[in-house]
Amino acid sequence: MTEIPATPSPFTFDPATTALVIIDMQRDFLLPGGFGESLGNDVALLRTVIEPLAGVLACARAAGITVIHTREGHLPDLSDCPPSKLRRGNPAQRIGDPGRFGRILIRGEYGHDIIDELAPLAGETVIDKPGKGAFYATELATVLRQHSIATLLVAGVTTEVCVHTTVREANDRGYECLVVADCVGSYFPEFQRVGLSMISAQGAIFGWVADSADVIAALGTTAPVTA
Ligand code: C5J
Predicted local confidence at residue 227, as pLDDT = 60
Active site annotation includes 59:
no
Predicted local confidence at residue 71, as pLDDT = 98
113 Cα: distance to centroid of ligand 1 (angstroms): 14
Q: Is the dihedral of CA 83, 89, 93, 95 positive or negative?
A: negative
Nearest Cα to 104, choosing from 52, 28, 217?
28
User: d(Cα 121, Cα 158) in Å, to the nearest integer?
Assistant: 22
DSSP string, 129-176: ESSSSSSTTSSHHHHHHHTT--EEEEEEE-IIIIIHHHHHHHHHTT-E
Atom of ligand 1 nearest to the CA of 165: 7
CA distances, 72 to each of 5, 8, 95, 127, 167 (Å): 31, 30, 11, 9, 15
Beta strand 125-129 with 66-72: parallel, antiparallel or unpaired?
parallel
- The residues pairing with 22 across neighbouring beta strands, listed in sequence order, are 69, 155
Active site annotation includes 162:
yes
**Per-residue model confidence as pLDDT tens digits over 161-196:** 999 999 999 999 999 999 999 999 999 999 999 999
Would you give per-residue pLDDT tens digits along the chain (227 residues)? 999 999 999 999 999 999 999 999 999 999 999 999 988 899 999 999 999 999 999 999 999 999 999 999 999 999 999 999 999 877 778 999 999 999 999 999 999 999 999 999 999 999 999 999 999 999 999 999 999 999 999 999 999 999 999 999 999 999 999 999 999 999 999 999 999 999 999 999 999 999 999 999 999 877 777 76
Predicted local confidence at residue 88, as pLDDT = 86
Nearest Cα to 209, choosing from 172, 168, 181, 174?
181
69 close to 52: Cβ distance less than 8 angstroms: no
CA angle 216, 222, 224 (to 5 degrees): 110
**Per-residue model confidence as pLDDT tens digits over 81-91:** 999 999 987 77
User: d(Cα 41, Cα 71) in Å, to the nearest integer?
Assistant: 19
Give the mutation target among 24, 26, 84 for probing the ligand 1 site: most ligand atoms within 8 A of CB. Answer: 24
Active site annotation includes 24:
yes
pTM for the model: 0.97
83 close to 37: Cβ distance less than 8 angstroms: no
